Amino acid sequence: MLKMTQYLSALLLLISAPVLAQAPTVTAQQFVDLQQGDSDYPGFRRAHAKGMCVSGQFISNGNLHSYSTAAMFEAGITPFVGRVSIAGNNPNAPDLKAPVRSFALSFNADNTQQWRVAMNTPPVMAVSNPHDFYQQIIAIKAGPKAIAEFFAAHPESEDFRVWKSSYMPTNSFAHETYHSINAFYLVNENKEHQAVRWAMKPANVNPVSVERFTGENALFNELQQRLANAPVVFDWEFTLAAPEDDENNPAKSWPNTRQKIVAGQVVIEQWQAQTGGQCDDINFDPLVLPSGIQATKDPILRARSAAYAESYRRRAIESLTGQVKEGRDD
Ligand code: HEM
């Protein structure tokens, strides 16, 4: 009898162990409810609501071709439609107060290989799983005291805090570095997988001097004027993980000494207002990947994909039913 009880409790432990080991799940609906809060801008994204469409081309130098079968890494040109934005749920927010700036791109190589990329200015997240990110958003909304307590309770936020303490926001979208944060695999013809993160860094090609804008729309106005003079160019740099780097933890930096490869240049040539613009109907879901690029097991990637779909579903319904409210969009 005793043996049977021991057997049953061991079995129960075995069954429940993987469940207990995981942080509680947060649904896409909960994420989007929290992110949109009481902001009432039907038709707009529930996060990164203020943005502007951009378009241009990626000029690949072929350097990543032996690492990935993705068509766009062959030497040549792939056009993109993209979007620059600031974090937050208000499409009228003042640009220079936003803590995070962003750049998203949608590539369609050979008209068959879709790739959606969405990047932010920090190189890492403060946390490594969706549950903790949800708690972080609650803390951000509660104010500086709550966020200080949150960071103190989450020591894994150290790499993010170190970055934040030295980050100096610039006066231009063109001068920021944008990071993938999450890692992905490059997969080559031999099915070899190389974990990478990437960054788009200002290439300073044809620097133009642009008026320093102030006011609510400073960053968007600045980029419009800059593009009227010349394209804006970024180097697309990939960092290759070493075997000891954890590709599934977006809160952990990899050492600076890791090999870096520039795959080519991303050139923004034009802009368009987001409402009715080419980027408006794009969901920059980071799991839309071409062959030759694969997702890691990073749980944040799945949470992002689900939340972007939910935000997209809400704004698409509102747009289709004509509920879109005026919001500053250029
Ligand atoms: C669990 C973590 C995250 C959640 C729940 C989340 C949620 C969202 C949501 C709901 C949207 C609006 C999507 C739409 O309506 O199209 C969004 C947009 C965006 N997110 Fe995240 N996000 C997360 C993490 C990240 C990370 C790590 C990055 C950067 C690598 C990022 C970059 C962006 C960018 C750039 C956009 C704007 C894309 C556009 O221009 O349409 N997010 N996010």
DSSP string over 220-244: HHHHHHHHHHS-EEEEEEEEEPPTT
DSSP code at position 69 = -
E strand or H helix at 313: helix 299-320
The two structure tokens encoding residue 3: 């043996």
Burial group, residue 318, by CB count within 10 angstroms (0-12, 13-18, 19+): middle
| Ligand 1 and 126: CB distance under 6 A | no
* Domains in the chain, CATH or no CATH each: 26-320 (2.40.180.10)
Predicted confidence at residue 324, as pLDDT, reads: 76
Tokens 């378009």 appear where? 55
State the distance from the centre of ligand 1 to the C-alpha of 47, rounded, in angstroms: 6
**Model confidence over 237-293: pLDDT tens digits?**
999 999 999 999 999 999 999 999 999 999 999 999 999 999 999 999 999 999 999
Report the atom number in ligand 1 closest to the C-alpha of 180.
Answer: 30
| Ligand 1 and 311: CB distance under 6 A | yes
CA distance linking residue 79 with residue 56, whole number of Å: 6
Which residues on adjacent β-strands are paired with residue 83?
A: 53, 104
Rounded to the nearest 10°, the torsion over CA 189, 193, 194, 198 is 80
The two structure tokens encoding residue 69: 């079968």
Residues 83, 116: contact at Cβ < 8 Å?
no
| Ligand 1 and 118: CB distance under 6 A | yes
Predicted confidence at residue 23, as pLDDT, reads: 65
| Ligand 1 and 105: CB distance under 6 A | no
Tokens 């949608």 appear where? 106
The one-digit pLDDT tens for each residue of the chain (330 residues) are 344 445 444 444 444 444 444 567 899 999 999 999 999 999 999 999 999 999 999 999 999 999 999 999 999 999 999 999 999 999 999 999 999 999 999 999 877 889 999 999 999 999 999 999 999 999 999 999 999 999 999 999 999 999 999 999 999 999 999 999 999 999 999 999 999 999 999 997 666 777 789 999 999 999 999 999 999 999 999 999 999 999 999 999 999 999 999 999 999 999 999 999 999 999 999 999 999 999 999 999 999 999 999 999 999 999 988 887 655 444
Burial group, residue 274, by CB count within 10 angstroms (0-12, 13-18, 19+): buried
State the distance from the centre of ligand 1 to the C-alpha of 231, rounded, in angstroms: 26
Which residues on adjacent β-strands are paired with residue 80?
A: 56, 107
State the distance from the centre of ligand 1 to the C-alpha of 304, rounded, in angstroms: 6
Amino acid at 218: A
CA atoms within 13 A on the CB side of 28: 14
